[in-house]
Structure 1
């Protein structure tokens, strides 16, 4: 992936709406929220998914979080759940689901991921959704397929793949994707994106302005938003990583995660073939 301001190969597969497109045709994305005091990460992911083009975005939230979330969202819908079975029912028919941001490292997160793995939606698993499987990574890998995406930073990566980073980031991500049977996004200044079929790219338009809390949550939502529009998972991850960094670089000093979603339209406008 180049750093010369030109979009790489995924540009030709970005999903754009046509004149007859309606919101449901643009894909349904679900984002699983944490408990009442831990909703910010999911809100960031949901907004990232909306801005990248998903037609319908829903926050799947514990009942206790509804009162916190309701005044904080507008175009995003709320769907409360009480148990993993209800969560799976709410996610039925969705094209993609983001799970893990501020979810909690606990049995409930494990149960929720197990429930979501059976409903056919492509999963983006981030943050707590990765760390919670530190002691049994094989259990997570057994739930995944090639449409799913894992988005670890190096600490989370080492919890799931403790033997790989010593080989270097590119080799580590490639082997991790093969082992997990899913796309792996190894985040960092030069984010590595690897697919289980051996495809691998290094993103080199990274920017230090992304080194602030919550930017990874926005990225997870962006990947989910592109998956919801039925973009190939590897291409969706590559596109989201590049667009995410480009949006951050365009803002520059002072960037916080809340700024990122609203910077996406300018980057997308440059990529839109109809301009």
Structure 2
């Protein structure tokens, strides 16, 4: 459904889009699972889940403790809910991507969950608390990573995981972080840089300062997960997600809040489809 495009200098360009097959079904576009935080800390996950579905995942399921799911059930309809029983056997070979971090909480419990989910071998997005929880022991995270895992730090989170890497040259910094961690790294900012352990690099310049609002990063996490469900290249999925996220932000403009972004993301996707047609 999506094809990434880049300029010669690595600038991310609008992705090419094609509609789903006429005889396709929802599992063709992947099933994404997003791990919820505890009750009273659930909003970030809902933002990510709605963005994931809008980005084209065929199904999205939020996994969490029962009290948190009660909160989600009051807000979500198209998103499925499953209780976290520690085994989560419902995460099967039809799974397209996993996302952890928004609202998850910082600490040992989150570290254990991240390492457990990484061990399942699926494409994954790690953001927010899933990164900060490893600030004191980043090597334990890096040992479990692979290229189809996308880390999405802002400058503060980047500094906690890679305290010795200078952000003065963000392109060099993100390449160094990817090489060290073994993951695809997306460094958020006015210009968002993406790199792989093998040295591929891209930069998204299609954005707006109106995206500097609470929850916008959670929407990006969900958008990446939605594209990972449909695209087998994590670098390209992350790059396309940053362009779409920036385009949605530009459509929102002044007064933009994160709750607006999933709907605006759908408008961005529709505009791309119409342009291709």
For the aligned pair, the TM-score class normalised by the smaller chain equals: over 0.9
Q: Are 1:37 and 2:52 matched, yes or no?
A: no
Flag as ranges the 4+ runs of structure 1 deviating above 6 A.
none
Matching of residues 57-72 of structure 1 within 5 Å: 57-72=60-75
**1:15 Cα shift?**
6.6
> Is 2:53–2:60's contact at 8 Å kept on the other side of the alignment?
yes
| Partner residue, 1:119 | 120
Name whichever structure is richer in strand by fraction.
Answer: 2
Q: Corresponding residue for 2:90?
A: 90
Measured at CA, do residues 15 and 46 of structure 1 come closer, stay the same or move farther in structure 2, by a change above 3 Å? farther
**How many Å apart are 1:150 and its aligned residue?**
0.2
Greater helix fraction, Structure 1 or Structure 2: 1
Give distance in 2, aligned partners of 1:91 and 1:163: 37
More deviation, 144-153/114-123: 114-123
- 1:5-24, aligned counterparts within 5 Å? 8=13, 11-12=15-16, 16-24=19-27
What does the per-residue CA deviation read over 1:18-63, in whole Å, with 9 as the maximum and x for residues that have no partner? 1111001110100101001111011000000000000010001112
Q: Which residue of 1 aligns with 2:233?
A: 232
Tell me how many residue pairs correspond in the alignment: 267
Equivalent position of 2:30 in the other structure: 27
Q: Kindly tell me: are residues 222 and 171 of structure 1, through their superposed partners in 2, closer, same or farther at Cα, counting changes over 3 Å?
A: same
SS of the equivalent of 2:83 reads: strand
RMSD of equivalent CA atoms: 1.7
Deviations 1:140-197 (A, max 9, x none): 1111111110000000000000111245211000110111111111000011111111
Aligned to 2:178: 177
Distance 1:262 1:7 in 2: 22
Secondary structure, aligned partner of 1:189: coil
**Deviation (angstroms), 1:274:** 5.0
Please give the secondary structure, in 2, of the residue aligned with 1:104.
Answer: coil
Structure 1 pair 58–172 and aligned structure 2 pair: CA distance change class (3 A):
same
Question: What's 1:128 paired with?
Answer: 129
Q: Determine if the alignment matches structure 1 residue 77 to structure 2 residue 80.
A: yes
- In 2, Cα distance between the equivalents of 1:49 and 1:234? 17
Structure 2: 5+ residue stretches without partners? 1-5
TM-score between both structures, scaled by the size of structure 1:
0.92
2:126, 2:151 within 8 Å by CA — same for their partners in 1? yes
Output the CA distance in 1 between the equivalents of 2:193 and 2:205: 9
Q: 1:19 and 1:36 mapped to 2: Cα distance? A: 40
Q: Is the 8 A contact 1:28 1:57 kept in 2?
A: yes
Q: 2:49 aligns with which of 46, 49, 62?
A: 46
Residue of structure 2 equivalent to 1:108: 109
Q: TM-score, normalised by structure 2?
A: 0.92
Counterpart of 2:203? 202
Q: Distance in 2 between matches of 1:100 and 1:260?
A: 19
Partner residue in 1 for 2:246: 245
| Secondary structure, counterpart of 1:91 in structure 2 | coil
